[in-house]
Amino acid sequence: MSASRAAARARWLLCAVFVLAASLAAQAGTPPRALQPRAADAVATPSPSPQASVQPLEQSPTPLGSAPSATQSPGVEVSPSPPAIIAPPSPVPVQLEQASAYLIMGRATSVRVQAPASGILMLSGFDQDVVRAVFNPIDRTIDLTGLRPGTTTITATDEFGLTASLSVTVQAYAGKAYTSTAVTITGDPASSRYVAEAAAAAAALVAYPETGAKVTALAEQVRGNRELTADQAVTVVVPLSITGPGYAPYHQDVTVTVTNLAQPRIPPKNLFVSDFPETLTENGTLFYADVTFAQPARLLYYHYNSGTSVPRRVVVKAQNNELTSSFLELVAGVAGPSPNILAVGHESTKRYLVREAGGEGQIFEVPPRATVNISDQIMAPGTLVSGIMQLRVVSGSGVRVAVVVQDASEIPVGPISDTLLSSAVRHARGVYSVPDFFYDIAYSVGNDPATLTIGKLPLPNLVQGEVLGGDYGVKQSATLTLMNPTPNDARVGMWFEPRGGRATGTFLVDGQLIELHPVDVGRPALLRVFPVPANGYRRVSVVTMPEGGSSYPVRVSFGSQPPAGGTWNLSSAIY
């Protein structure tokens, strides 16, 4: 037998002895002593008949009460235990910086991947027509680009099959707007308030909302406006927003250059009235007439959208049928939409009277063979719009002015149709030749009251149609001379007395604005008290106009004693 085989046999015998010793120790309840082969036994001799000899275990007496020590006797050394098997760590869940993302169509954004810190993520399950999504393994981001409006969900999956979801919403802007524009106004001077209003209106004209969206440009938010005298200019900033359901809000600061171009005060020759059909049930042309250089006009329109109808828009258009441009001066008071018919009529009248008194208007060009929109008001069902506009051709041969109704969703462009809408309920529509009334009234203290009845004269129609009752749209101006022949100072009151129903009112008394909430019949409202010196007199100017929606005629009385039902207390109906 070779030396190698002898050595192997010796090792086998040692192992057997160790196992036997361990078994006996376990049965005795004491740990086995370490066994160690002697040096002589560990070496195989080159004998032709090799034998492995094993020395008997040596035991030393152990003192009572002491534990056996591994050093008390040499023995066989125990082989080391095999290393423990360590399970690999669990995969880290996929974690994104956010659970949802919002972006504008055509814009891009990124969502950071927080975990895992390495490895590839697969993106799936989303609508690729709504968003383009790409995993960036270097920056550890999901890069998104909005393609069209919609909402979709992206599933991000790692190499272990773990996932995370990302909801993505893409919206289009509610519209767009230019960043700058300009407007030419008139005013003697133009007040800071009117400069802001004109700038806001000009900014709104360069905004283009999507269907169903709304443009907001508020005069109160205009920055840099100030009073402008003739031939002055200023550049202001108008914060503009366009909002609508399903759209991303659009915000833009529009810079507007406002120039005040002085114009002479030229009164209108004719009054245009569009109040038929008053209640709108279909689309079409409500009114049209021509304005020329020699024939300036005032336009009054007053229309209600039926509560059972659809959303509509009322547009005032100016159309130039000639080969050269016409420039038009516009002084306007526009109000609505609102379901409050008295408030709309009052607001449009007030705005017009205030602006007309200051000569505050706008000048704009109507290009040849073109149609432009002067105003555009969207009406929900059950709401009303009204406007009073003074129109004068500054240069050019003239324009055709029309009031048109159409669906709110329809783009307000296109020429004017000469086919007029009709209705079984008759209201005023036509051209009337007396747009202004003037009065000269004298009153002496102690006499019966002097009265001014507003809205009592029906005006004939110059075209086929109804007469104009109530003098709506007719400016009423009065000069009063209040005389006091007594030796004592006296007072003269001014009372507002509706005759046929509730009425609101707007007055410019010596240039001061007085507004009235609705006043009932039989409840005279005291507007002003005028002190008149002893043996002296006082002159007072009064400007007013019947207001749409209110019941006119109305009597205005001046006296040293209140009328029946009146008092010397200023009316609570005054704004």
Domain for residue 71, yes or no? no
d(CA 396, CA 291) in angstroms, rounded, equals 11
Do 362 and 409 fall into the same domain? yes
What is the total count of domains within the chain? 5
Do 424 and 466 fall into the same domain? no
Do 291 and 403 fall into the same domain? yes
Domain for residue 79, yes or no? no
pLDDT digits (tens, 9 = 90+) for 4-44: 555 556 565 555 555 455 455 444 454 444 444 444 343 34
Do 287 and 391 fall into the same domain? yes
Do 539 and 461 fall into the same domain? yes
Do 274 and 402 fall into the same domain? yes
Listed residues 213, 233, 260: the one ending a domain: 260
Do 283 and 411 fall into the same domain? yes
Which CATH number goes with the domain that contains 125? 2.60.40.1080
pLDDT band at 280 (very low <50, low <70, confident <90, very high): very high
Domain for residue 61, yes or no? no
Position 521 pLDDT exceeds 60: yes
Residues 410-428, mean pLDDT to the nearest whole number: 85
pLDDT band at 409 (very low <50, low <70, confident <90, very high): confident
Position 571 pLDDT exceeds 80: yes
Position 46 pLDDT exceeds 50: no
Listed residues 405, 432, 459: the one ending a domain: 432
Do 425 and 280 fall into the same domain? yes
Listed residues 413, 432, 451: the one ending a domain: 432
pLDDT digits (tens, 9 = 90+) for 64-118: 444 444 444 455 555 667 777 787 788 999 999 999 999 999 999 999 999 999 9
Which CATH number goes with the domain that contains 555? 2.60.120
User: pLDDT over 90 for what percent of the chain?
Assistant: 79
Beta strand residue intervals within 11-72, DSSP E: none
Do 278 and 418 fall into the same domain? yes
Position 54 pLDDT exceeds 80: no
Residues 163-168, mean pLDDT to the nearest whole number: 98
Domain for residue 147, yes or no? yes
Q: Are 205 and 215 in contact (CB under 8 A)?
A: no
HSE (side-chain half, CA atoms, 13 Å) at 530: 26
User: pLDDT over 70 for what percent of the chain?
Assistant: 86
Do 379 and 304 fall into the same domain? yes
pLDDT digits (tens, 9 = 90+) for 335-376: 999 999 999 999 999 999 999 999 999 999 999 999 999 999
Domain for residue 518, yes or no? yes
Query: Which residue segment(s) compose the domain that 2 sits in?
Result: 1-52
Query: Among residues 535, 459, 541, 550, which one has the least CA distance to residue 494?
Result: 541
Position 433 pLDDT exceeds 50: yes
Do 417 and 382 fall into the same domain? yes
pLDDT digits (tens, 9 = 90+) for 122-138: 999 999 999 999 999 99
Do 209 and 165 fall into the same domain? no
> Which H/E stretch holds residue 75?
none
Burial of 84 (0-12, 13-18, 19+ CB in 10 A): exposed
d(CA 398, CA 290) in angstroms, rounded, equals 7
Residues 48-75, mean pLDDT to the nearest whole number: 44
pLDDT band at 412 (very low <50, low <70, confident <90, very high): confident
Q: What is the pLDDT of residue 69?
A: 46
Residues 546-552, mean pLDDT to the nearest whole number: 97
Q: What is the pLDDT of residue 426?
A: 80
Burial of 280 (0-12, 13-18, 19+ CB in 10 A): buried
Residues 266-276, mean pLDDT to the nearest whole number: 96
Position 562 pLDDT exceeds 60: yes
- Cβ-proximal residues to 355 (8 Å cutoff; 6+ apart), any chain: 194, 331, 332, 333, 361
pLDDT digits (tens, 9 = 90+) for 368-408: 999 999 999 999 999 999 999 999 999 999 999 999 999 99
Domain for residue 401, yes or no? yes
Domain for residue 415, yes or no? yes
Domain for residue 354, yes or no? yes
Residues 296-310, mean pLDDT to the nearest whole number: 96
At 318, list the tokens. Answer: 């100016």
- Report strand pairing: 180-186 vs 361-366: antiparallel
Residues 552-574, mean pLDDT to the nearest whole number: 97
d(CA 351, CA 305) in angstroms, rounded, equals 22
Q: Are 345 and 504 in contact (CB under 8 A)?
A: yes
